[in-house]
Every structure is written in C-alpha cells, then in structure tokens.
Amino acid sequence: MPFSRRIDRWLERLASVQLTLVCLGLAMALVILGTLAQVHMDTFAVQKEFFNSGWIYGRLGGMKVPVFPGGLTVGALWLANLLAAFAARFKFQKSDTGILISHGGVIMLLVGQFLTQTFAHESYLPVGLGQTRTYSEGHGYPFTLTLKEFHHDLYPGTDIPKNFSSLVHVSNPAKGEERDALIYMNHPLRYEGKTFYQASFGKGDTLSVFQVVDNPAAWAPYIACAFIVLGLAIQFLSHLFEFIRKRS
C-alpha cells in the first residue's frame, strides 16, 4: 500500500465520528468522577488529579497503575480528532459558517486548557483565624486578606466534609477598596487577576488554606464558549431562514 494512502487511512480513523463520541464520553465520565470525588477531596486536588493530568492512577499491590485517561489525554485526543476532521473532510461553504465558528471555539477551548497547564502559576496561602496576610508579587500595589470566619460542615453522622468556607476581608488601600468575600468549594474569589480557591484547613478549624492561581489564559474558556454559542446560533438561524424561504 502506498505511503500516502496509509496516511489517508490513519487520518480518516483519527477524524472518525466514533472517536469524537468516545472523547465526549470520556469527558463526561471525568466530570462525573471529579464531582463524586469532591465528597472526600477539595476542589483543587480534584482538578489536579482528574483534569490537569495525563492519567488517573490507582494502586495494584504496591504499584501505581494508570486506570483512566485524565483531562490532558482526553483533550489532546479530542483536539487531534477535530483537526483531523478539518483536514480530511471539511470543504468550506457559506452554509457551513456556523459549524466552522463552533468548531473553532472547541479548538480554542482545548488550546486554552493547554496554555493554562503550561503558563498558570499556583501557590498556597495559609491564613489563621483573625490573621491578616499581605499578598504581593513584587509588581503593582499589594492587598491584604483577613480571615474573619471559617466554617467546616460535615455530612450527618460522618467525618466527611460537606462544605468548608472562609469569610475574608479584602483591603486594597491603593484603590480605596474594603469589602468582604465568602470563599467556599466551587466558589472562589477572583481578584487582581488571581483566583483564590478554598483548598484545605487545619489547626482545629482555625486555619484556612487557599490555593492561589494566576492564569494568563483565564480568558480562553469564555471566548471559546462565546464562539461555540455564536456558531450554533448562526447555523440554526441559517437553516431556519432557509426553511422559511422554501415554505414561502
């Protein structure tokens, strides 16, 4: 078989709808597994283990073995599938404008995730109850966080965390800003280009630990979702207008 034909066959396999459905199924499974894992893991740990990894590992005897593809593997496979589909089958027509925009949004979403993994900076910020911590990275004006309250709720009759939350006071003298913010699981504080997640706690519930993420690609998911919605809207409206025109 000629080499070029082999390439075409592999490209067709990589561009298959079946592979797209597999990627969607794996992504949905990751979301479900990650959601269930938050019963006994904090949000950041779940994100790191399930979505920011190539593989999810389990234990077999004394060894760590891969048991399920992580977010990076699923994302890379899905991106390859989309690009292969464009290369193998896509022929631009005016009626396909919406499809092109939507697929571009999905590709941007996957690329944005890669940029996040490559360039995002993460650190921990422990704050004791009543303590004030100054946050500064050597540029711009610093601001302070004061831990006013911390709550640690359990599921009835268990030691499993149901929710843990921190009420903090944000003070930024340079901007004349004084305000309170509640940080809890799946509800971070976004401030000055940084995201403060409720990551952990300790010292008899008198210490709250925040995961601070500085992500220069944080804009990517929002723009990508806007492209996806815009593309779907254009495609739907174009078919609707064509249907109305034929009926008239």
Q: Burial of 179 by CB count in 10 Å (0-12 exposed, 13-18 middle, 19+ buried)?
A: exposed
Instruction: Give the pLDDT score at 140.
Output: 57
Closest CA to 102 of 240, 15, 17, 224: 224
Cα distance from N-terminal residue to C-terminal residue, the chain: 53
In the prediction, which pLDDT does 239 show?
83
Place of tokens 């593989």: 55
Predicted pLDDT at 107? 82
| Separation between Cα atoms, residue 198 and residue 189, nearest integer Å | 9
148: phi then psi, degrees, rounded to nearest 5: -90, -40
pLDDT per residue, tens digit, the chain (248 aa), is 566 677 767 778 888 888 889 999 999 999 898 888 877 777 767 877 888 788 888 888 778 898 899 888 888 888 888 888 877 766 667 777 888 888 888 888 878 877 877 778 888 899 999 999 988 765 558 899 999 999 887 778 777 777 789 999 999 998 899 999 999 888 899 998 889 998 888 888 889 999 898 888 888 888 988 999 998 898 888 888 888 888 87
pTM above 0.85? Answer: no
Q: Which pLDDT does position 4 carry in this prediction?
A: 67
Per-residue confidence (pLDDT) for residue 2, from 0 to 100? 66
The pLDDT of residue 138? 55
Residue 69 CA, distance from chain mean position: 16
Strand ranges, E, within 77-142: 121-128, 132-135
